[in-house]
Amino acid sequence: MSRELGYEEIIAQRIDIMRKSLGLDYAQYATGALAFDYERLLSDTGYDVDTAHQVQRSTAVGDTPLVELRNITELVRILAEPGKGARIFVKDEAANPSGSFKDRRASLSVHEAIKRGYRGVVAATSGNYGAAVASQAAKAGLACIIVQEAFDSKGIAQPEIAEKTRACEAYGAEVMRLSVGPELFYMFLSVLKDTDYFNASLYTPYSILGIETLGHELAVQTEELTGRFPDVVVTTHAGGGNVTGTARGLRKAGAHQAQMIAASVDLSGLHMASDNDFNRKSFTTGHTGFSIPFTTWPDRADVPRNSARPLRYMDRFVTVTQGDVFYMTEVLAQVEGLERGPAGNTSLAAAVAIAKKLDEDRIVVVQETEYTGAGKHPLAQLNLAKKLGIDVRRGDPRENIPGRAIVIPEHPAQISVVDVDLDRIRRSYLRNAVGELQKGEQLHETDLEFLAEETGTDRCYVQEVLHEVHRKTG
């Protein structure tokens, strides 16, 4: 059994394990010291938007409704200046089989596993993706193992994570629940090595292409309902796949002018791999603990090259507070009659603040919702926070202190967004990129062009930043 091997031994084999578990040789796409042929990596899968739609429809994934939030739009217009207050729509992804947009990611991965003759699938996740993989595997008759970072060293698990464990097991998956720390990746690789199952990672080409259908549907439905494409699409941002796939789908539908805004919950100051901080965050996804690291260096993933490249696609990056999201979760339920899970309402909270400043004839689409349940309900999360000594109260949400205070708005006018400095993020990405170079390795023209595409800038910008990095580091 490979799980008897030590951590260093397994990590040293990670490239071979991942290659075997995907049937995909990433090395063939390398075109420079850092550059790789990103578009060929995606296109070689054989899944265009139409093909992905066909696969997903065969398992009842996708074709989810686009719902106009008329009451919330009216509320926004009451709060806004005259003539302001864009129409707000939401893509109700809770209508998917396991209750989230993650079914789109899982559908192509499971389909690919069947095509390649794998007997089962493995995914490492503490979130909705595990339930999605388990659901799709159940339909396909494949075995499924979910490796889940579930609790701290005291055995305390967030109720949202416990809810997702229940969901995975309900679909027949085996769930390996681990404490927070580096053990997750080690166990994930060990399971892949032991089972020879397919690596249904969140970051494979199949996972990203599965989300393209969401962006494509969103654009087409908006045009059908309003006669035009959306002006703004607000997407909850964590590991980057949501932003990447949705933006690509929008473009393939012809919605090139739609502004892509990424939104995350501000959990600055909390370390996601810290045993102390693990349960002091009330969100397992859609927060800065994932979105900042994965935006500044996507290839920290469980595959050799991450197909989620968010900096290529985002036009704006904003944060909201935990209190904002909890508040909008209740508003959505009590004003629109839609009870949905908090994580999906991150983008809704941001959309309300953004729509308030846009003209009335503008259209803002919230890109997804997720199902809710006992463990995912705000009260469950807030009760755990109180037990951990976190101050939970009503007031000004700007007084939120991640891990210490959750301040829930007293009035919807208090909901706002804070812009993340994209120039700072781009520079951080480029510093991380050159840090990956081997000693004496030089960048070539292909690398500079690649880095310009990665950062959504141009070659001059990249050279300027790299020159600054070189000057500071000597």
Interval 190-210: pLDDT, tens: 999 999 999 999 999 999 999
- Mean pLDDT, the chain, rounded, equals 94
Say whether pLDDT at 356 is over 70. yes
Structure token digits, residue 103: 């079914």
Q: How confident is the model at residue 1 (pLDDT cuts 50, 70, 90)?
A: very low
Contact 145, 176 (CB under 8 A): yes
Q: How confident is the model at residue 282 (pLDDT cuts 50, 70, 90)?
A: confident
Nearest alpha-carbon partner for 326 in 401, 286, 400, 382: 382
Q: Which segment, 15-24, 99-108, 299-308, is predicted with the most confidence on average? A: 99-108
74-83, 125-134, 251-260, 393-402: range with lowest mean pLDDT: 125-134
228-237, 429-438, 449-458: range with lowest mean pLDDT: 429-438
Structure token digits, residue 312: 């290529």
Q: Give the CA dihedral 90, 94, 97, 98, nearest 10 degrees.
A: 140
Percentage, residues of the chain above pLDDT 70 = 99
The stretches of 227-337 forming alpha helices (DSSP H) are 241-253, 288-296, 322-336
Neighbours of 418 (CB within 10 A): 13
Contact 393, 407 (CB under 8 A): yes
Supply the pLDDT for residue 474.
Answer: 59
Structure token digits, residue 216: 């494509």
Triad 299, 302, 307: Cα angle to 5°: 50
Say whether pLDDT at 2 is over 90. no
In the chain the domains, ranked by start, together with CATH numbers, are 2-41+100-202 (3.40.50.1100), 55-99+206-419 (3.40.50.1100), 422-473 (no CATH)
Span 352-365, average pLDDT: 98
Q: Pairing mode, if any, of strands 391-395 and 198-199?
A: unpaired
Say whether pLDDT at 451 is over 60. yes
Q: Which residue has the tokens 């003759």?
A: 117
Q: What's the pLDDT tens digit per position in 56-74?
A: 999 999 999 999 999 999 9
- Concatenate the DSSP letters of all residues of 74-123 into one string: HHHHHHSPTTB--EEEEE-GGGSTTSSTHHHHHHHHHHHHHHTT-SEEEE
Residue predicted with more confidence, 346 or 183 = 346
Contact 382, 282 (CB under 8 A): yes
